């Protein structure tokens, strides 16, 4: 199951004090939450801080969740708000090199391939602007639809679609140029 198909009953059970529901919610969403926080803050430690605070707010705010909504979108909105608050407070450090931790993958059979893949991904992500990175990571990490991403980021759906497509083209060009030994 991908994170976009999160069962809202987990949040409802959390509202009733079910600790096991919280553990399962964390297990299912931690990659998406961390990846989204990292896409905004661009620093591993700041993203981890926001991730921690977001889960506390999710747990304590579970009683306010409205059934019939989109549970992952609700959680990611909390993440976005906390990350923006951190930025407004001037308490962030930029370190784009941390993006290599953003995509937890399966265990590859060849460690060298994994290192090369991470380096290529890191290079490709550097060519994206702030919104493009957010959109790409939300889609890649969670499987959210473009209209759901538009709701989370408060952007028109058409803008999200065009930025996503532009992101793919930019990343494809960056990867092709990396493969040719060129740098941008």
Q: Domain extents for the chain?
A: 3-179
The tokens of 182 are what? Answer: 């060129």
Give the pLDDT of residue 105: 46
Reported confidence tier of residue 108, pLDDT bands at 50, 70, 90: very low
Q: What does R_g of the chain's alpha carbons equal in angstroms?
A: 17
Quick one: residue 17, left, alpha or beta (phi over 0 = left, psi -120 to 50 = alpha)? left
Topology of domain 3-179, per CATH? Answer: Rna Polymerase Sigma Factor; Chain: A (1.10.1740)
Helices (H) and strands (E) in the chain, counts: 8, 0
Of 21-25, 45-49, 83-87, 175-179, minimum mean pLDDT range: 175-179
């Amino acid at each position: 199951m991908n994170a976009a198909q999160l069962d809202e009953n987990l949040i409802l059970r959390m509202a009733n004090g079910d600790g096991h529901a919280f553990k399962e919610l964390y297990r299912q969403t931690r990659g998406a939450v961390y990846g989204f926080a990292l896409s905004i803050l661009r620093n591993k430690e700041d993203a981890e801080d926001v991730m921690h605070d977001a889960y506390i707010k999710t747990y304590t705010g579970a009683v306010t969740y409205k059934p019939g909504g989109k549970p992952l979108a609700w959680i990611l909105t909390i993440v976005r708000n906390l990350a923006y608050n951190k930025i407004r407070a001037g308490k962030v450090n930029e370190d784009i090199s941390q993006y290599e931790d953003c995509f937890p993958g399966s265990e590859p059979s060849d460690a060298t391939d994994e290192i090369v893949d991470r380096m290529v991904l890191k290079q490709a992500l550097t060519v994206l602007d702030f919104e493009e990175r957010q959109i790409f990571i939300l889609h890649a990490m969670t499987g959210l639809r473009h209209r759901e991403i538009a709701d989370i980021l408060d952007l028109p759906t058409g803008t999200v679609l065009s930025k996503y497509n532009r992101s793919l083209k930019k990343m494809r060009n960056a990867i092709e140029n990396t493969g040719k030994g060129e740098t941008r």
